[in-house]
Amino acid sequence: MKSKLILAVAFVLAGVLAGCGPSGGQRGGPTTAADNAACALIGDGAEIFAAGAQHFGYPGVDAFAGSCEFNSADGRRGGEIILYTPESLHGVSPQAQMQIVTTAWDSQTQTPLTSVEGLGDASQMAVDLPGYQTQIAFRKGGSLVLVSARSGDEAMTGEQIARAMAAAAAGNLAAAH
């Protein structure tokens, strides 16, 4: 009897908590791609993450303008993109912000960081990060873009996903500015 009462209270509490707070894109919740400049840099993600890919945009927090998470329908491919703009950096240069990020990456891998050609003014790629992630940072104009990717899909590695995301973002960033 006591366990049934505890279970009933847990269900009521879960229902109350689910009803609390704003929904949708408010206060850090997901938005649609049209509402988020970071998501717009990749688009719907089907070319990289295959048909049925899902994406969730999040409004900026701290110094970034927005972020977007992408996942394949089967969950084997995933990636995230973060966009920094001159406005979101609040006076910090994209160069300085990129240095902070890449210094942190460098301390987390024994593999030297490398540059990726054709993305923008400067780029760095880190491989073999915790969770078998590949991450790319690049600056283009006044913007800084960070990409993180992982893969459990033999058809496309995390590095291939990161490179494809960065290339798409660089092309769309040029079109947007």
pLDDT at residue 10 is higher than 60: no
Contact between 136 and 116 under an 8 Å Cβ cutoff? The reply is yes
Sorted by sequence, the CB contacts under 8 Å of residue 64 that are 6+ apart come out as: 82, 83, 84, 88
The structural domains of the chain, with segments of one domain joined by +, span 31-176
Q: How confident is the model at residue 128 (pLDDT cuts 50, 70, 90)?
A: confident
User: What pLDDT score was predicted for residue 4?
Assistant: 30
Distances (CA, A) of 149 to 17, 49, 122, 140, 166: 32, 11, 19, 20, 10
Residue with tokens 């979101």: 88
pLDDT tens digits, one per residue of 99-108: 999 999 988 8
pLDDT tens digits, one per residue of 37-47: 999 999 889 99
Q: How confident is the model at residue 29 (pLDDT cuts 50, 70, 90)?
A: low
Contact between 37 and 43 under an 8 Å Cβ cutoff? The reply is no
- Which CATH fold topology does 31-176 show? Protein Transport Mog1p; Chain A (3.40.1000)
Taking the whole predicted model, whether its pTM rises above 0.85 is answered as: no
Contact between 158 and 76 under an 8 Å Cβ cutoff? The reply is no
